[in-house]
Each structure stands twice: as C-alpha cells, then as structure tokens.
C-alpha cells in the first residue's frame, strides 16, 4: 500500500536549514495499522505530509495506494484520506456553525458525489463512527472525542483505501482515546482500510498498531510489532524474592542461556531473560532443586519507552 524509498525533506528558513526527514524508506501492507512513533520534532508530520502529497519531498520516491507520489499526486489523493492534527475544538478546517451531517455531505459533494449518495454516505459514516444521534448538532457543540471522530469521518467520505491520521488522540481524555482506538480498529475490520498513524504515545502505538516504525531525528531507527520491538531491545525482567541471601540464588541462575544482567540485593534477585514466560518454569525448578524457597516472583514486560531509550538514549516521554 505504501512503498517509500529514501524520502528526504529539507526546510530552509532564512539562513538556517532543517533536515526534517533524512532518508526514510518504509513499506506498509494493505490492511495494516501502522504506527509512526517518535518524539516531538522527529519528522513524523513531515513524512506524513509528503506521503499524503501535501508537501513535496526534497528527494526520494514513493508509491502510495498504487499511484506514484511525484508523477501522479492526483491519483494518490483520490485514493487516500488525511486527517491532520487537531487544531483545538473549533479548528481543523470545519465551520463551527455548520451542522455535523451538512459538513459531511458538503465534503462528499466536493468529491463530486451526487447529493443522494452524499446523504447516504454521511448516514453510514456517522453510524460507523458513533455520531449517529449528532447529525443536526452544530460542530461547535461537539466534545473533543466527537470532534475527532467527525474529522476522521471527513477523511473517509471518498472511501479511501488508506487513511493517514496525524496524532488522532492528542488532547483527548483516556476514555475518549480508547473509544477512538476502537473506532480505528473497526475501520480496518469493517472496511479493510489501511491506517497509518503518527503518535508520540507509547500506549497508543502498543494498543492499536500491528507494526510500529520508530523515527528519531528524521531517520527510522527501528521497526517491528510492539512485541518484537520490546523483546528485541529489552527482554523481560524477572524479579524473585527468596528466603536466603539473594546472591546465593543468583549464583545458580547466572551464565544460563538467555539470562543477562543478574542483580542480587538483600533478598531480591533481578534478571533479564529473552522470553520470560518460557524462562519462569526452569528458574523455579532450578531454585527448588537447591532448597531455596521463593516468597514471590514477578515477570515484567518492557515498555516501548524502554525500547526507545535503548535505541536513542532519550526517553519518548520527555519528548526532548
């Protein structure tokens, strides 16, 4: 659905030059939900705007939804939807004094659909995005979550194969965020829409995306499923509390295959293993064979923030 090769974008303002995107190569399969994760200023929006034909790349090439980005931008635009960042409650390009259904109908007509089809399409989208009872409401009266869902509905009027969502849940409360994720999942399940989403929220990427591309300073620094990324970089952490000196228990676990960073402190042993769920049985067996009694055992999976920290030396949460 997307094949991009070595995309770059340089901004020149006065005397200064910013290399916002420095050679991004990526591919996205049809039907995937792909997350583009990175801190503020990493180059997410710039890449997205290039892929959506809103910004011309300085160099590189891409095929998006079967059309060539540079030679056939109109073809790309016809097949994609783009939902930009929220501009506050009344922003985002819609007229705040317009009614919800009218806005969708007008948008559909801009795509040269007949009035009858536009009305039908608006009804369907409102029901799909849980805006069913809100058709006659003025846009300015919508809640943040409803407003975001309307933005998404507007991005879908022409039934695109691929939709770009730029930080869709920024500014929403936790409940509206998980509600929005449900709707994005439904889009894929019902319509098989491919979704490319930028975010700097780890939990969003983790909960929603099939695959994640991590971008930092204009370059992709890692990619994989949330699970693969977490396993590849960080491993799982097992914390054991034992009834003897922790060092004694640690001796029996150190040097075993797949075990790293064994640390003993008082009665607590902490170790990193490649696959925590597979390691736990033999850890328990090994220790019980030595007569050591465990009073508790805990398995912690790493977060995507651990991954990002390991890859870049910076925390995503800091965004700095």
Ligand X SMILES: Nc1ncnc2c1ncn2[C@@H]1O[C@H](COP(=O)(O)OP(=O)(O)OP(=O)(O)O)[C@@H](O)[C@H]1O
Choose one: 40-48, 93-101, 273-281, 294-302; the region binding ligand X (CB under 6 A): 40-48
Nearer to ligand X, 61 or 85 (CB): 85
Does position 23 interact with ligand X (CB under 6 A)? The reply is no
Does position 320 interact with ligand X (CB under 6 A)? The reply is no
Which 190-229 positions form the footprint of ligand X (CB under 6 A)? 200
* Long-range contacts (CB closer than 8 Å, 24 or more residues apart) made by 89-95: 89/140, 89/142, 89/144, 89/147, 90/139, 90/140, 92/147, 92/151, 94/139, 94/150, 94/151, 94/154, 95/139
CB atoms within 10 A of CB 259: 17
* CA 299/CA 24 separation, integer angstroms: 36
Nearer to ligand X, 54 or 119 (CB): 54
> From the CB of 157, what's the least distance to ligand X, in Å?
25
Does position 41 interact with ligand X (CB under 6 A)? The reply is yes
* CA 80/CA 164 separation, integer angstroms: 8
Which 51-110 positions form the footprint of ligand X (CB under 6 A)? none
Q: How many residues line the site for ligand X (CB under 6 A)?
A: 13
Does position 315 interact with ligand X (CB under 6 A)? The reply is no
Query: Phi, psi at residue 97, to the nearest 5°?
Result: -95, 5
Angle at alpha carbon of residue 314, lines to 308 and 318, rounded to 5°: 100
Does position 43 interact with ligand X (CB under 6 A)? The reply is yes
> From the CB of 205, what's the least distance to ligand X, in Å?
13
Does position 169 interact with ligand X (CB under 6 A)? The reply is no
**Contact at 8 Å (CB) between 39 and 319?**
yes
Tokens of 189: 């399940």
Q: Which of 45, 169, 176, 194 binds ligand X (CB under 6 A)?
A: 45
Does position 18 interact with ligand X (CB under 6 A)? The reply is yes
- Eight-state DSSP code of residue 151: H
Choose one: 27-35, 37-45, 257-265, 306-314; the region binding ligand X (CB under 6 A): 37-45
Choose one: 38-46, 136-144, 253-261, 286-294; the region binding ligand X (CB under 6 A): 38-46
* CA 100/CA 254 separation, integer angstroms: 63
**Contact at 8 Å (CB) between 159 and 120?**
no
Nearer to ligand X, 12 or 136 (CB): 12
Q: Which of 40, 141, 293, 298 binds ligand X (CB under 6 A)?
A: 40
> From the CB of 17, what's the least distance to ligand X, in Å?
9
Q: Which of 42, 80, 214, 229 binds ligand X (CB under 6 A)?
A: 42
> Which among 46, 45, 1, 5 is positioned nearest to 25, based on CA atoms?
5
Query: Phi, psi at residue 212, to the nearest 5°?
Result: -125, 135
> From the CB of 85, what's the least distance to ligand X, in Å?
7
> From the CB of 54, what's the least distance to ligand X, in Å?
11
* CA 172/CA 96 separation, integer angstroms: 19
Nearer to ligand X, 18 or 299 (CB): 18
> Which among 103, 76, 101 is positioned nearest to 92, based on CA atoms?
103
Nearer to ligand X, 40 or 298 (CB): 40
**Contact at 8 Å (CB) between 69 and 57?**
yes
Choose one: 36-44, 107-115, 120-128, 180-188; the region binding ligand X (CB under 6 A): 36-44
Three-state DSSP class for 271?
A: strand
Point out which residues bind ligand X (CB under 6 A). Answer: 11, 13, 18, 20, 38, 40-46, 200
């Amino acid at each position: 659905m997307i094949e991009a090769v070595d995309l770059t974008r340089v901004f020149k303002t006065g005397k200064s030059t910013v290399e916002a995107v420095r050679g991004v190569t990526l591919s996205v399969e049809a039907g995937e939900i792909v997350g583009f994760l990175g801190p503020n200023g990493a180059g997410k929006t710039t890449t997205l705007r290039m892929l959506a034909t809103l910004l011309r790349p300085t160099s590189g090439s891409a095929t998006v939804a079967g059309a060539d980005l540079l030679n056939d931008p109109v073809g790309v635009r016809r097949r994609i939807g783009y939902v930009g960042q929220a501009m506050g409650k009344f922003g985002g390009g819609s007229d705040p004094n317009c009614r919800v259904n009218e806005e969708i109908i007008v948008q559909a007509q801009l795509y040269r659909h007949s009035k009858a089809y536009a009305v039908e399409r608006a009804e369907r989208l409102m029901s799909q995005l849980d805006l069913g009872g809100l058709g006659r409401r003025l846009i300015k009266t919508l809640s943040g979550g409803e407003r975001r869902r309307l933005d998404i509905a507007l991005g879908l009027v022409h039934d695109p194969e691929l939709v770009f969502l730029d930080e869709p849940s920024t500014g929403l409360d936790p409940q509206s965020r998980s509600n929005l994720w449900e709707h994005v999942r439904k889009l894929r399940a019902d319509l098989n829409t491919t979704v490319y989403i930028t975010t700097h929220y780890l939990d969003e990427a983790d909960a929603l995306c099939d695959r994640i591309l991590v971008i930092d300073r204009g370059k992709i620094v890692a990619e994989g499923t949330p699970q693969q990324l977490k396993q590849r970089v960080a491993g799982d952490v097992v914390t054991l509390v034992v009834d003897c000196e922790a060092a004694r228990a640690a001796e029996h676990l150190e040097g075993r295959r797949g075990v790293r960073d064994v640390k003993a402190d008082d009665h607590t042993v902490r170790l990193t293993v490649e696959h925590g769920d597979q390691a736990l049985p033999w850890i328990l067996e090994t220790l019980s064979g030595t007569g050591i009694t465990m009073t508790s055992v805990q398995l912690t999976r790493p977060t995507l923030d651990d991954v990002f920290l390991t890859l870049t030396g910076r925390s995503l949460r800091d965004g700095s």
